[in-house]
Amino acid sequence: MTTTSILFPIIITFIFLLTTNLLLNVTASQPITFPTLAIHTTTVSSNDFAVTVMPTLSAYYFVEARIGLPRFPVNLALSTTIPTTWVQSADCVVCLDVPSKSMNFEPADGFEPVLGDDTKYCVPPVAKTATLGDPCRYVLGFSQGILGNDTFSLVSPPSTSSPPSSLEINHFIFGVGKQNTVNFGAHSPIVGQLGLGKGHPSSTLSQLNISRFSYCLPPSNSNHQNTTATLEFGPKAGLTTAYYYNTPIVEGPPDHPFDYYLNLTEIAVNNASVYTPSKQRRGEPGFVIDVGATVTLLYKEAYIRVKDAVMEYLSSNFGLYPVYPSRPVTKPPTYELCYYNQDLESITTLAYPNISFHFEGGAVLQLPESQAFHNFVDELQTCLVMIPKTGTEPSRLGASQQRGWRFTYDLLQSELSFAPNGC
């Protein structure tokens, strides 16, 4: 009797594992439990400053800003991987394909280049040193040009009644983009990036003296006139949600000083762990949250485990097999795991697998089906919208997989909080 009661949980676990294995034929999976202790509560409900966040069709998210006097309107894509804000200049050599006119930055309009190599703004890794008297040049991933300063403001949604309705900064340092190689999609309204990365004197956050910000991303097909999705700044940013998960923001490698690295502990498919990162594994590149990446890029090992688990689940439970050989659905990016819509629609009981990302401290980001799979109507296929990556760049949790959640970055606490239904 005693033996039985001791063995009972072990037997149950064994039966569970056996059943899971028989059903899904996933040999490496371990069932994991979802912690509940990590959920925090709050009652504060006001924000310091909020700006409307709008989507483009290709899942870039942007805010509206004004530069100079008279105020020139610019749409800037959110980026958490670069610290400094930049805007395309009318005299660009390599230019974004934008329908609107770009701004000519002239001293007559209040614009001043940041001169010399003796200011704290002109230091690597953002800026290259300049000769005294010459404007300092910046190089930020997709854009190069000179640093300058002008009046800069972010515009609040009209509905926000609490002051200030516009955040205005005199002598704001930003990049004037002369060579801009990023592709925001055809006829995108975006003419630059609002840098929200940490770490450099020229960063938007240091200049605003802000150590906390929060955003929520609306679906990319939403009518942006109606969206309540916001980017919030200040000590109370993001505190409107009732409960949330917390995970530490950790230091990345020295060559990624601006990125927000997270300690990923697990990726699970239907509550079964399919991937556990290991610092010992060669090539394991770490995991960052990246609002400027449209979709999630996963370290190849991790992607294969997720893909295999999704395939096993759909074949064992519904007799579904992917399109093979897989072919590009959109380019770029290309997706490796796709199913014909006709096959999916023939199964009335179809339930997509739940994919979740688990982080240090018990934080769980469970992706709704619509964020893990996308129906490409024109191609008659539905694909897993994640991309395997090789090389030493970190895995990136992209914007498409962040939609609907509210993410709050606290640089003083080195903590990321997130909550569902945050828009």
The residue range among 71-79, 91-99, 114-122, 335-343 that interacts with ligand NAG, by the rule CB under 6 A, is: 114-122
Q: How far is the CB of 36 from ligand NAG (least distance, A)?
A: 8
Q: How far is the CB of 2 from ligand NAG (least distance, A)?
A: 31
Provide the token pair at 25. Answer: 């034929």
269 binds ligand NAG (CB under 6 A): no
* Contact status, residue 268 vs residue 358, Cβ threshold 8 Å: yes
Q: How far is the CB of 354 from ligand NAG (least distance, A)?
A: 4
For β-strands 127-128 and 112-113, DSSP reports them as unpaired
Nearer to ligand NAG, 353 or 394 (CB): 353
159 binds ligand NAG (CB under 6 A): no
Query: Which residues sit opposite 349 in a β-bridge?
Result: none
209 binds ligand NAG (CB under 6 A): yes
Q: Using CB under 6 A as the criterion, what x/- string covers residues 302-321 for binding ligand NAG?
A: --------------------
Provide the token pair at 334. Answer: 């290309």
Binder to ligand NAG among 91, 106, 112, 118 (CB under 6 A)?
112
Nearer to ligand NAG, 4 or 209 (CB): 209
Q: How far is the CB of 56 from ligand NAG (least distance, A)?
A: 16
Provide the token pair at 383. Answer: 């694909």
As a whole number of angstroms, the distance between CA 47 and CA 237 comes to 5
Nearer to ligand NAG, 232 or 329 (CB): 232
Binder to ligand NAG among 248, 257, 333, 362 (CB under 6 A)?
248
Binder to ligand NAG among 46, 223, 280, 342 (CB under 6 A)?
223
* Contact status, residue 260 vs residue 288, Cβ threshold 8 Å: yes
* Contact status, residue 423 vs residue 404, Cβ threshold 8 Å: yes
Enumerate residues 6+ apart whose C-beta is below 8 A from 124: none
351 binds ligand NAG (CB under 6 A): yes
Q: Using CB under 6 A as the criterion, what x/- string covers residues 5-34 for binding ligand NAG?
A: -----------------------------x
At residue 98, φ and ψ (nearest 5 deg) are: -115, 140
Q: Using CB under 6 A as the criterion, what x/- string covers residues 30-59 for binding ligand NAG?
A: ----x-------------------------
353 binds ligand NAG (CB under 6 A): yes
As a whole number of angstroms, the distance between CA 251 and CA 262 comes to 8
Q: How far is the CB of 412 from ligand NAG (least distance, A)?
A: 8
279 binds ligand NAG (CB under 6 A): yes
* Contact status, residue 87 vs residue 190, Cβ threshold 8 Å: no
The residue range among 185-193, 221-229, 294-302, 323-331 that interacts with ligand NAG, by the rule CB under 6 A, is: 221-229
Nearer to ligand NAG, 334 or 366 (CB): 366
As a whole number of angstroms, the distance between CA 169 and CA 173 comes to 10
3-state secondary structure 366-399: EECHHHHEEEEHHHCEEEECEEEECCCCCEEECH
Enumerate residues 6+ apart whose C-beta is below 8 A from 319: none
Other CB atoms within 10 Å distance of the CB of residue 316: 14
As a whole number of angstroms, the distance between CA 338 and CA 324 comes to 8
Q: Using CB under 6 A as the criterion, what x/- string covers residues 162-191 for binding ligand NAG?
A: ---------x--------------------
Q: How far is the CB of 55 from ligand NAG (least distance, A)?
A: 13
As a whole number of angstroms, the distance between CA 104 and CA 371 comes to 39
Enumerate residues 6+ apart whose C-beta is below 8 A from 112: 148, 149, 150, 171
Q: How far does Cα 118 stand from its chain's mean position?
A: 34
Q: How far is the CB of 283 from ligand NAG (least distance, A)?
A: 16
Enumerate residues 6+ apart whose C-beta is below 8 A from 273: 29, 30, 31, 32, 266, 267
Nearer to ligand NAG, 285 or 292 (CB): 285
Q: Which positions lie near ligand NAG, rule CB under 6 A?
A: 34, 112, 114, 119, 121, 149, 171, 209, 223, 225-226, 248, 250, 263, 270-271, 279, 351, 353-354, 360
